Amino acid sequence: MDIKKLQTVVVDALEDVKGQDIVLFDTTNLTSLFDRIAVVSGTSNRQTKALAASVRDKVKEAGGDIIGLEGEDTGEWVLVDLGDMIVHIMQPAIRQYYRLEEIWGEKPVKLGAAKRKSSAEGVEAAAAPKSKSKHLAANQEQPEVKPVRERATAAKKAAAGTAAKKPAAKKPAAKKVPTGATVRVAVPKAAAADAAAAKAAKTAATKRATKAAAAPAAASEGAAPAKKVIRRIKKADE
């Protein structure tokens, strides 16, 4: 049996009995004894035995060979040897302890390639419409396009052209000053105040100078003449 068909039959058989955490690995580069290895968990001894029986029966129905079956007595770890493929059916504690994924998990096989295709579920899944992503612009709902009325558009264009042709409002022209006319320019208040202050200071200085010049003359005219004191000197003979 073809290896791809065999792995599809095995995965279908494990899914029929609700096998948990099904993984599939390609071991062609690791060993020449088999090409595929499958690991699946069963929650109880009864389920592990049922998983092994399902794989055995499905492979036989498909025309495959069963080389060996081991571990059915305890049910903790059941191994099904299919020649080109080995199936390990383990309880969770045993699976976590031995960690077969770390030994054979160099090249995992996607279960999408081994999913059932001929079953009723597979046919329904293929016939079901695929959901479209709403993040893509092409898959988003496009708004309804309304027809454009040409007459209304032409009327709007004509109105816009008429508005564009209207002249802009003119600003009032500035008054022209006749040539040769004397234009009086108002003196700024600050300059007028400075000129008044300078004029007052000049007037005060002039008055002070006039008073200072008149003071010595008045003093010389109104002053009393100085008295002369004549002392008589007694002679020695007297």
Question: Encoding tokens for residue 190?
Answer: 């600050």
Asked whether residue 135 carries a pLDDT value surpassing 50, the answer given is no
Give the number of C-alpha atoms closer than 13 A to the C-alpha of residue 63, restricted to the C-beta side.
Answer: 4
Question: Encoding tokens for residue 119?
Answer: 């079953």
Q: Are strands 20-26 and 85-90 parallel, antiparallel or unpaired?
A: unpaired
Sign of the four-CA dihedral 102, 107, 108, 109: negative
**Which of the four pLDDT bands, split at 50, 70 and 90, describes residue 119?**
very low
pLDDT in tens, 165-198: 555 666 666 666 556 556 565 556 676 777 777 8
208 backbone dihedrals φ, ψ, rounded to 5°: -65, -40
pLDDT of residue 199: 80
Beta bridge mates, 87 = 38, 80
Give the number of C-alpha atoms closer than 13 A to the C-alpha of residue 178, restricted to the C-beta side.
Answer: 3
Q: Are strands 85-90 and 68-70 parallel, antiparallel or unpaired?
A: unpaired
How does DSSP classify residue 108? B
- Asked if residue 35 lies in contact with residue 58, where contact means CB atoms within 8 angstroms, the answer is no
Domain spans, the chain: 3-123
How far lies 26's CA from each of 39, 47, 113, in Å?
12, 26, 13
Architecture of domain 3-123: 2-Layer Sandwich (3.30)
| Separation of alpha carbons 94 and 90, rounded Å | 6
Residue type, 92: P
- Is pTM beyond 0.75? Reply is no
Burial of residue 87 (number of CB atoms within 10 Å: 0-12, 13-18, 19+): buried
**Which of the four pLDDT bands, split at 50, 70 and 90, describes residue 209?**
confident
**Which of the four pLDDT bands, split at 50, 70 and 90, describes residue 133?**
very low
Alpha helices in the chain (DSSP H): 3-16, 45-61, 92-98, 100-104, 120-127, 150-165, 189-222
Question: What b/e string do you get for 22-53 counting C-beta neighbours within 10 Å, with b at 16 or more?
Answer: bbbbbbeebeeebbbbbbbbbeeeebbbbbbb
| Separation of alpha carbons 4 and 113, rounded Å | 8
Mean pLDDT of the chain, nearest integer: 76
| Separation of alpha carbons 13 and 82, rounded Å | 13
| Separation of alpha carbons 99 and 140, rounded Å | 46
Of 236 and 118, the one with more pLDDT: 236
